[in-house]
Amino acid sequence: MVEPTSPRLLFVGGAGDAALAVDVVRTALGQARKRGLQVHLTNQEATLAATPAITALADAASAVDFEIPGASADWARGRAAAGERFDIVFGVREMAQEAVAEAADALGLPGNPPQAVHRVRTKDEARAALAAAGFRQPRFRVCADEAEVRDFLARTTGPWVVKPRDAMGSEGVTRIDGPQELAAALEFLPERTAFIVEEFVTGPEYSAEGVFLGGAPHVLAVTSKELLPPPNFFEIEYVIPAIVPEETRAEIERQVVAALGVLGLRYGQFHVELWWTERGVVLGEVHVRNAGGWIHRMLAHVIPGLEWFGLVFDDVLGNPVDTAALQPVRGAAIRFLTPPPGRLVAVEGWEEVAAHPAVIHCELAVRPGDVIEPHRSVENRVALIAVGADTPEEARRLARKLEESVRFVTEAAPH
């Protein structure tokens, strides 16, 4: 009797070289191994070299640049023609999602339509599609220069947000209250080729984390967010599940599920950002990947036994999934610490925080002598504390208490 060969996973985009990115991929590959998957991982050549621990977890690794349109699909076709079989195509990096979709399409495997992924990754196209389907959206305009922005400002009511068409982690995003603040906002953009200006949405921010099962979206939990005051959008707290009335949670889930259907998405994980306003849900950015900010670890505490990445593999492999068990029963919270800018002299109380038994993950990315920059995007995160508890209220209280017990001593940095 011939033994069946193991199912094979093409993992497009590998991991970035940041600690969070490596942890996400290590977790995903661990859940793939539990299901007997053989893994062929692709990534850009330099990043493959920078993440040897991840490469070592795969059965094979190849240098393929996921940022070159069509390159991953062409590579996958070539491997298939040479006799290599793949059963699943998956990836976790934001910038690799179009390559994931193109490779799956090229191999005739489950995946999102490439045009649908391109739409949600191009923020103005996603906004237009949602608005056309009747979802609440802020008015926006794609601009090429300052004159076009000023024209939009003159025709709409502020405040406004200036941001890139295609970026992540609040990179280059600024709120402005008038034309006098425009120059600084444009300077903060990573690129000036084309960008978006849109009306600022007033209301608390949330996100919905989930997975597609049988092509249908299943919301695992709603996450609440706290941000530093404008002009930037630095997130300093997540709480899962969000502490909101049941009817609010249900309406958020209803809107998210409907929007994902309208956008033509059907595969993998999702992370959908939104606001709760006086008019109800206003949808923000849609991502066909897991959430960042260590939410993958927080969800695993909130839903005991959850394997978020493993659910994607189970869905393709036809393994049974008990959706009734995919409900939050505990709470988790994370605080991103924001010490005053300047040269760091000392950090007090960190060892005690790191030793606390409720800590899911903590990270201190600075040491005495480093210069702490103003907190403007996720790239400026210098420390974080994630905790788990029996309820989200308890988790939030504990995370804030632990944050208060850490003291950063800084001095003015030389110019």
Percent of the chain with pLDDT over 90: 83
Examine the pLDDT at 239 and tell me if it is beyond 80: yes
The confidence band for 254, taking pLDDT boundaries of 50, 70 and 90, is very high
- Say what the alpha-carbon torsion angle 174, 178, 184, 187 is, to the nearest 10 degrees: 70
Does residue 4 have a pLDDT over 80?
Answer: no
Q: Give the DSSP letter string of 215-227.
A: TEEEEEEEEEEEE
Confidence of residue 190 (pLDDT cuts 50, 70, 90): confident
Residue 194 has a pLDDT of 86
Residue 339's pLDDT band (cuts 50, 70, 90): very high
Ordered domains of the chain (ranges, CATH): 8-109 (3.40.50.20), 139-199 (3.30.1490.20), 203-329 (3.30.470.20), 333-411 (3.30.470.20)
| pLDDT at position 232 | 66
pLDDT tens-digit map of 53-67 = 999 999 999 999 999
d(C-alpha 349, C-alpha 404), whole Å: 9
| pTM score of the predicted model | 0.92
pLDDT of residue 88: 98
Per-residue pLDDT tens for 119-170? 999 888 999 999 999 999 988 899 999 999 999 999 998 899 998 887 655 6
Q: Give the integer Cα–Cα distance in Å for 221 and 394.
A: 17
Taking 70 as the threshold, does the pLDDT of residue 196 lie above it? yes
Residue 307: CA atoms inside 13 Å, Cβ hemisphere, count?
19
Higher pLDDT, 29 or 4: 29
Query: Are the CB atoms for 222 and 250 separated by under 8 Å?
Result: no
Which pLDDT score is estimated for 188?
Answer: 87
Please check the confidence at residue 414 and state whether its pLDDT lies above 80: no
Cα(33)–Cα(332) distance, rounded to whole angstroms?
A: 27
